[in-house]
Amino acid sequence: MNKLKIWLKALRAPFFTASATPVLLGSVMAWAKLGTFNWLYFFLTLIGVVSINAGTNLANDYFDYKSGNDEINKTPTPFSGGSRVIQQKLIKPSNVLVGSLVFFLFACLIGLYLNFSIPGNVILILGLIGIVIGFFYTAEPFRLGYRGFGELWVGLCLGPLVVLGAYYVQVQVLSREALLVSIPLGILVGLILYINGFQDYEADKKVGKKTSIVILGKEKAAKIYYFLIGFVYLWIIGGVIFKVFPLATLIVFLTIPLAIKATKILMKNFDKIYELLPVNAATIKLHLLVGLLLCGGYIIDKIL
């Protein structure tokens, strides 16, 4: 395996859709509402947010290695248990940490440029919040992901923070609608991490990592997943009924068969590991498709 492939494995690059999708949604909303779209700002925002995502992934690998969490995980999957580059001795732990800091620094430089180019300090504030949460999700002294319901922090960062930030970059105003439409994406990206917790349950419990699954137990946690998936669709219906979201955003209901499939598999196999792999994949797809279809809804509304 060459060095590039090894680092892409460490970065978990295929999962960058989790950070790219909210950037796209916020940017498309700005165009649909105010007719503004700055391509340079869009690409800089995208690269900056993905860089924070990359830095977070590497930091998580390093600090989960330091805590022993990934070391004692004997049932890693393509979705859970970390990238395993440290455990497989593909990259030195110190180099993983340095890589994390480099990506965070790169994101800071992009953020400072955008903040300098755009009035106000909104980008500076949102960017700093994202970086602090990303790094200290597993790093001392806060270890946010170890203290209970860490998925909420992830949902906050890759939901409201990114959608609002991407919107603001384009039009220099904050939007209540952008905040509200970001909630489904925030929930779904949190659920991506939430599902991983089922497979990491034993290792997390041994090192005292209080994930939602460890706190709730697998059976109760499976019911919460079912509830939250349903809440995503109810939220969008409510947004349309109260005329906050365009009618065309109901196109997201095309994803219901995938949501039903994921919940059925989870309810049947919540105490298993490899049988849950389709749920991992389906949750990632749901996040991506819901985000893209929300974008599509705003584009349709703009055109029509």
pTM above 0.75, yes or no: yes
Q: What are the backbone angles phi and psi of residue 282, rounded to the nearest 5°?
A: -65, -35
For the chain, which residues make up each domain, given as ranges? 7-303
Tell me the mean pLDDT in the region 162-185. 97
Report pLDDT digits (tens) over 29-50: 999 999 999 999 999 999 999 9
Calpha distance 251→228 (Å, rounded): 19
Query: Residue 245's Cα: distance from chain center in Å?
Result: 22
Calpha distance 297→290 (Å, rounded): 10
- Asked whether the predicted pLDDT for residue 1 surpasses 70, the reply is no
Mean of the per-residue pLDDT values for the chain? 96
- Asked whether the predicted pLDDT for residue 73 surpasses 70, the reply is yes
Report pLDDT digits (tens) over 11-33: 999 999 999 999 999 999 999 99
Calpha distance 33→144 (Å, rounded): 36
Report pLDDT digits (tens) over 246-262: 999 999 999 999 999 99
CB 286 within 8 A of CB 262: yes
